[in-house]
Amino acid sequence: MDWLDALTQLRREGSPAVLVTVVAVRGHAPREAGAKMVVGSEHSWGSVGGGNLEESAIRRARELIADGAGEPETQLHRLNEHARNRHGRQCCGGEVTLVLEPMPARPTVAIFGLGHVGYELARILSRLELRLELVDSRADQLEPLRLAEITDGAADVGVHHLVLGEQILERLPRGAHVLIMSHDHAEDFALCDAALRLPHLGSIGLIGSSAKWSGFRRRLAEQGHSAQTIDRIRCPIGRPEISGKQPAVIAVSVAAALLPTLTAPAGAASSGSAPSGSAGTSAARTISGVPS
């Protein structure tokens, strides 16, 4: 797999990565300007020159991933016999400047139920750079023509016609946000029960009234969930100051409550709490004189 395919796959999986690029070369060097490498948490693809140069870049890239960094940084490597190094000597005689550009995992939002509210919410979220999973047990709600305005947005959209939406819950990446708003209270309850059994999920929101949630809380407790676990679900959802029963208004309210979590810096958003309520370019940081 080349670096571009790897980056695409990591993005699809919701995994962070760092893109390493040779941006300048002076004198002799193992790779030319423009060479690229993608570094993930466990593997790397492509090459920027091997040896100490590449190993130093890989190790720093994984530190950036672990720290949830979002800003790019540069490294200057001197390839000569006098340079101090940690991973072997490279005596090409030149200098190489690398840019390490973090590619944070795109947030994932899964909407279960593409009825009136679910559709309007998907339209709003599809304009954001995220992974959007749309799930419904009714095939007609997922017709390509109906979803054309959604799939044409900035989001990566997955469409799933499944009677048992729990199958998608199990495959969602860590920290994924779940919004349950199907046409059937039985489906809603089954999804709530399944979501609470998956601690890797992020926020869980359920559309409905306080009366609906009161009944769901009782039944979830009967299924063996503790009160603390049940509190992972927020119902009602949305911003309480945005009132109205029109599907588009409810969708705006829910999106507004979710947005701060989606746009939080990498590593800052906490998992396990749902949106509450009622219904630029950065300068690269430079690390010069990296031993090679």
Kindly state whether residue 183 falls inside one of the protein's structural domains: yes
Boundaries of domain holding 119: 108-262
Whether 75 is in a domain gets the answer: yes
pLDDT at 43 over 90: yes
Verify that 123 and 97 share a domain, yes or no.
no
Based on the domain organization, do 51 and 196 belong to the same domain? no
Q: Which of 119, 168, 163 is nearest to 145 (CA)?
A: 119
State the pairing for strand pair 131-136/233-234: unpaired
d(CA 109, CA 179): 8
222 in the same domain as 173:
yes
Given a cut of 80, whether residue 274 has pLDDT beyond it is no
Give the pLDDT mean for 77-95.
Answer: 60
* Average confidence (pLDDT) over 68-79: 88
Do residues 123 and 99 share a domain? no
Q: Both 113 and 236 in a single domain? A: yes
59 and 83 both lie in a single domain:
yes
Q: Cα dist. 114→104, 138, 146, 168, 250 in Å?
A: 28, 9, 10, 15, 14
Assess whether pLDDT exceeds 60 at residue 266: no
**Six-digit token pair at 43?**
């593997």
Residues 240, 100 share a domain: no
Which one, of 24, 84, 17, lies nearest residue 48 by Cα?
24
Q: What was the pLDDT predicted at 292?
A: 38
Flag whether pLDDT at 64 surpasses 70. yes
Choice between 269 and 3, residue whose per-residue pLDDT is larger: 3
pLDDT at 81 over 70: no
Asked whether residue 115 falls in the same domain as residue 61, the answer is no
